[in-house]
Chains A and B, each alone.
Chain A
Amino acid sequence: MLLSRRLALGLTLVGALAFPAFAEGPTEIDLFFPVPVDGKLARDMGTLIKDFNETHPDIKATAVYTGSYDDTLIKTRAAIKAGKPPSAVIMSANFLLDMQIENELTNLDPLIAADGTTKPQFLGQFFPALSGNAVINRSVYGVPFQNSTPLLYINAEHAKEAGLDPDKPPQTWAELTDWAKKLTKREGDKVTRWGIAIPCAYDYCGWMMETLTMSNGGRYYNEEFGGEVYYDTPSMLGALSWWNDLIARHKVHPPGATPGPAVSTAFISGNASMMMLSTGSLTYVRDNAKFPYKVAFIPRNVRNAVPIGGASLIIPAGLEADKQKAAWTLIKWMTSPEKSGWWSRATGYFAPNMAAYKTPEMVDFLGKNPDAKTAVDQLEVAKPWFATYKTVPVRKTLEDEVMLVLNGKKQPKDALAAAQKAADELLKPYNAETALKLP
């Protein structure tokens, strides 16, 4: 059966080459998609693509599941190198710069121009905060699809018990520390309920460090250039020291590096009264929390600022023109107000397309679930997500050290110095090729 199918494919190919005019049938394209949220969404993705195929008879899209965000990058890169690039990929928004440096992305400017739209018009559909991870050197390389910001989730019942007003959530680190102390419950030396939990696992840990560093007034990396990270700085030291203090000094945060699912489980089960987590978890919390909860902005130490997260749609380099065109049609369809609104309601991510919030379904939804609005409001202070040359290894140098600190094995100062040294080493070739290259 396999043989006959390959034979048929071969014949079609020969036919297409010999008689281009008679080449029939839909353009077949692959969409690589990770499932960064609750697994039932794999089914929702199936529904979405089925809907697309039914409304676009000249294109046949297949949704290809590709693991985590990091796995998706590996698979996409391997496929491109093997000469089998996928037609479109839902790619973690912060991998775009690295891919562009490696010439793995299609510049979308010509496709936008061919539609008769200008770049400002096209980008104008999306929240301005998202441009940072989609536009590289003034060219568009990605289209925002599912995006997030970190949020502070609060168990309103616990807050009331502790004499705190859940309608006036903590706005500064000092207030948050105070809340966490009041919310933590102890029996002797044993903690029975934690005041706050912040996740630290690969990918998530770097994002949370960026969040804390930004609200501490700092920057994580050079947003304009892919060769510099600012790990060994006072703003990041302050951020990591505060996080570590919550564990080691105040004992209001579970010790050790806690993965995301453990944090959300602790919150849902009432073992943690507050947590910092992505808005991507909002639908899960809404469906599972058996208590009233509130979502709030991430509190500041110096300023209110958060990184965006989530994924953009990209078209890999090296595709045939017809596949590229079909992929572009799919991307525009998926990021339209109706579809991105639908996906947002299913997942908890916010819809990057601003018009999505004007659709009647969304107005209705927000009326019933005002918590879905917080991440959108927080976009006012959102900044791009960490992206450098070799993003993943550079991110991991920091994450490894942060985990050591949270596990009580290293001091923040030493950890950040070590992370900076390791990251600089990784960034060296790119700097030698660009920033240090003199005419």
Chain B
Amino acid sequence: MNPFKSPIKWLLKDTPLATRNEITPKLGFALVVLFALVWLIPFLWMVVATLRPASDGINAMAELMPNLKPTLDNIRDAWDIGDFPRYFLNTTIICTGILTVQFVTVTLAGFAFARLSFAGKTLIFYLFLLQLMLVPVLLIVPNLTLVAKLGLYDTLTGVMMPFFASAFGTFLMRQAFEAIPTELEDAALIDGAGVFARIRHIYVPLSLPSFSAFAIVSVTSHWNDFLWPLMVINSPDKRPLTIGLSVFTQTAEGTQAWGTIAAGTLIVIAPLLVTFLIFQKRFISSFVTSGIK
């Protein structure tokens, strides 16, 4: 079917035959398209603002229509002001570092809460959940004091450390593990599998959607984190992307160069955006199957 000839039909080609001629799904679809457009406008503005030459003046800044002579000046400016390759590297190290350790800790903790029985299990689990209620900002001073005492002030490890354990992740993995039939584990037990072998061969492979959902939540939140890295990091060469970007977006008394800001923002969100576009389907299905909506 040619998508350009009848776009509506093409978009609805996967719907079940019975509902294809009903009006309600079409209305719903139109509503979704409308919301998508509203969501798209600021993004579109950012792209247009990035490519607009500064010589257009600030007057043109509010316009959504692209200029006929796009320029890469803004991107070059932003690139010059910030050492973006290094910022990218630092942010990647932080996100992957946190995620790797989190995978180990949340798997083990989730397994303990789902399948082991020990004294005070419920109480400890509630304490874990309680942690979800705390705003991270509240813990800045105690966390920083600890990080400094461990000699990790101004290091990337110091930025990562407070997030090595995750209450949210533990909760999520506990839910996922509990949904796995115990018969599978019993069968493995009969075959003589130890605890780690059972986790490795039964629980982890069967909970992959939950793992990927958790990975998305974890990476996006640490990719975007500003205040905590700002507290820990002093050296310019250890700045993550958010701090590098804020060097030219945060103002108190002055004013802003919108083109450069738009370019910087685009540079910063591009990797996450591209990843999302590529793995879109898998992302959504992982959220659906893991129960986060």
- What is the interface of chain A, defined by CB distance below 8 A to chain B? 2, 6, 30, 34-40, 42-43, 62-69, 71, 74-75, 77-79, 81-84, 86, 148, 203-204, 260-261, 264-265, 268-270, 277-278, 280-281, 284-285, 288, 290, 309-310, 347-348
Contacts and interface: CB of A to CB of B under 8 A. Distances in A.
Interface size class on chain B is: 35 or more
A36 B243 CA distance: 14
A265 B255 CA distance: 8
A264 B255 contact: yes
B277 interface: no
16 contacts: A2-B155, A36-B251, A37-B254, A38-B248, A38-B255, A63-B236, A65-B236, A65-B239, A68-B250, A71-B227, A77-B141, A81-B141, A264-B255, A268-B255, A269-B59, A269-B62
Interface in B170-207: none
B239 A280 contact: no
A82 B260 contact: no
Contact of A281 (B226, B253, B257): B253
A234 to B, nearest CB: 29
B248 A69 contact: no
A62 B235 contact: yes
Contacts of B236: 62-65
Contacts of A277: 253
Nearest to B257: A38
A34 B230 CA distance: 11
Given A260-B251, A260-B253, A265-B58, A39 B145 contact: no
B54 to A, nearest CB: 9
B57 interface: yes
B91 to A, nearest CB: 16
Nearest to A279: B253
B253 A265 contact: no
A270 B58 CA distance: 10
Interface string B20-53: 0000000000000000000000000000000000
B147 A42 contact: no
Contact of B59 (A64, A270, A285, A347): A270
Given A39-B260, A65-B243, A269-B61, 20 more contacts: A36-B251, A39-B248, A40-B81, A42-B81, A42-B247, A62-B234, A62-B236, A63-B236, A64-B234, A74-B227, A79-B144, A82-B144, A86-B234, A148-B253, A204-B252, A260-B254, A269-B59, A281-B254, A288-B58, A288-B255
Contacts of B230: 66-67, 71, 75
B117 interface: no
A34 B236 CA distance: 14
Contact of B144 (A40, A71, A78): A78
A260 B255 contact: yes
A263 to B, nearest CB: 9
Interface of A is mostly: mixed
Contacts, number: 142
A79 B252 CA distance: 22
A78 B227 CA distance: 11
B112 interface: no
B249 interface: yes
A284 B254 contact: yes
B167 interface: no
A261 B247 contact: no
B275 interface: no
A30 B234 contact: yes
Given A35-B250, A75-B230, A261 B256 contact: yes
Given A30-B234, A65-B243, A84-B153, A204 B253 contact: yes
A36 B253 contact: yes
B139 to A, nearest CB: 11
B236 to A, nearest CB: 7
B140 interface: yes
Task: Kindly list the 9 A-B residue pairs having the minimum CB-CB distance in the complex, ordered from nearest.
Answer: A39-B248, A37-B254, A280-B253, A36-B252, A264-B255, A82-B148, A278-B253, A284-B255, A82-B144
B246 interface: yes
A208 to B, nearest CB: 11
B257 A310 contact: no
Contacts of B243: 65, 67
A38 B258 CA distance: 10
Nearest to A66: B230
Interface string B90-112: 00000000000000000000000
B254 A38 contact: yes
Contacts of A2: 155
Contacts of B258: 265
Contacts of A203: 252
Contacts of B81: 39-40, 42-43
B85 interface: no
Given A204-B252, A278-B253, A288-B58, A83 B148 contact: yes
B64 interface: no
B148 A84 contact: yes
B145 A6 contact: no
A384 B42 CA distance: 40
A279 to B, nearest CB: 8
Interface string B235-273: 110010001001111111111111011000000000000
A68 B257 contact: no
B142 to A, nearest CB: 9
A278 B153 CA distance: 36
B3 interface: no
